[in-house]
Amino acid sequence: IFADMKVVIPAPIFHLTKMYNEDKFEKKVNLGVGVYRTDENKSFTIPVVKKCEFEVVNDPTLDHEYLPMSGNPEFRKVATELLLGPDCKALQEKRVAAVQTASGTNACRLAADFLAKRMKLRTVYFPMPTWENHMVIFDHAGFKQFKTYPYWHKKRRQIDMPRLLEALASANEGAVVLFHGSAHNPTGMDLTKKQWKQVTTVIKMNKLFPFVDTAYQGFATGDPDRDAWIVRYMASEGLEFMAAQSFSKNMGLYNERVGNLVSIVSDPKLVPALISELMMYVRPNYSNPPAFGSRVVSRVLGDKKNKEEWLKTLCEMTDRVKNMRKQLMQKLQDLNTPGRWDHITRQSGMFSFTGLNEEQVAKLVKEKHIYLTASGRINICGLNTKNIDYVAESISAVVKE
């Protein structure tokens, strides 16, 4: 039965990490997978997160019994408040349904399952480019028509707003439109408030269904409130929509798989019904979510002092990223590297879409031992004061060739 198995590469990004790990070159650099690194190129556990982990482990009242299918109620409350803000009218009016998920990927999948199988929606729009897993998730859930709206203007290295609006204006009623809440992956370029308002007008006009993937709340600006602006704006405009939330990056809880699927509905009576219907897709899939990470997040966000400490560390992390952006741009300019490089500091979050082409990327990987995706995306968190000169010189060299 297994006779025709072939080795495939389901996620090139993990393959890139494998290549990096096997590389013996001393100055090798990993700018691939989206994880935070310190200036010493070390993985990082946020201190207050670590403190809360110890508290959870040592709490004698906690056990390993199953969580409800919808997850840890305390976590769902604090996570949803972090996304929507304390003044959210929909929250006050109890028009928000929140379901704990196994991180952001699983929140996307649960939403896609529900929208395809229960709501019978068939068409989904993605920004071009987007996170490579989006399309696969919606395909596996049962969506049939995959469309894109232009996002990145290759030549100008900025958002292609006129064509983005044009594409959404031609979308039909009931199409799902996926947006990135902040720190767009892979471009690192987000819409301004004015641009988001234009997008929202088109959504209302064409009766489209927004799905906001917020995998990097706090990682764009260092301020989770600012990074949640579009979600809060859509809620304040009275839209019905869904948003996926992840604590992989902003709490560094990657492998604990902590996420939340938030749905805003028009009537509070719909909330228990919607949650129960979502459970129809949770139960035959993973049945109920893991508890540990949700307990840690509840402690971080549920205590004023812990939350303040987390916010301070988040700022330190994003400041380091911003500083690396500045230095990379400066060094590329000082080396008289052909082309413009100011987009690196106009972008935010983990990633920069450098504009390097596939040939240049291949040279960086093969000849310079610098690992990045074929699209030219680099993880700025992989840069540090020790490798930045080598990276800038290498990029400059392959661009000049």
Q: Is 180 a residue that touches ligand PMP (CB under 6 A)?
A: yes
**Segment interacting with ligand PMP, rule: CB under 6 A, options 101-109, 263-271, 306-314, 371-379:** 101-109
Q: Is 256 a residue that touches ligand PMP (CB under 6 A)?
A: no
Report the SS3 class of residue 97.
strand
**Cα 366 versus chain centre, distance:** 29
- Look up residue 93 and give its DSSP letter: T
Using CB under 6 A, pick the residue from 70, 103, 327, 375 that binds ligand PMP: 103
Report in angstroms the alpha-carbon separations of 140 from 107, 109, 143, 253, 279.
14, 9, 7, 26, 18
Q: What gap in Å lies between CA 297 and CA 294, rounded to an integer? A: 5
**Total site size for ligand PMP, rule CB under 6 A:** 13
Q: Is 141 a residue that touches ligand PMP (CB under 6 A)?
A: no
Q: What gap in Å lies between CA 188 and CA 184, rounded to an integer? A: 5
Q: Is 104 a residue that touches ligand PMP (CB under 6 A)?
A: yes
**Residue 322 in contact with residue 156, Cβ under 8 Å?**
no
Report in angstroms the alpha-carbon separations of 233 from 82, 164, 180, 226, 270.
14, 19, 14, 11, 21
The least distance separating ligand PMP from the CB of residue 52, rounded to whole angstroms, comes to 19
Report the SS3 class of residue 136.
helix
Q: Is 30 a residue that touches ligand PMP (CB under 6 A)?
A: no
For residue 249, indicate whether it is catalytic: yes
Read off the tokens for 77.
């409350």
Using CB under 6 A, pick the residue from 213, 227, 256, 309 that binds ligand PMP: 213
For residue 213, indicate whether it is catalytic: yes
Which residues, 259 to 298, sit near ligand PMP by CB under 6 A? Answer: 259
For residue 310, indicate whether it is catalytic: no
**Residue 303 in contact with residue 80, Cβ under 8 Å?**
no
Question: Of 150 and 188, which has the nearer Cβ to ligand PMP?
Answer: 188
Q: Is 318 a residue that touches ligand PMP (CB under 6 A)?
A: no
Q: Which residue out of 113, 160, 229, 249 is catalytically annotated?
A: 249
Question: Of 113 and 392, which has the nearer Cβ to ligand PMP?
Answer: 113
Question: Of 20 and 341, which has the nearer Cβ to ligand PMP?
Answer: 20
Binding interface with ligand PMP (CB under 6 A): 34, 103-105, 131, 180, 185, 213, 215, 246, 248, 254, 259
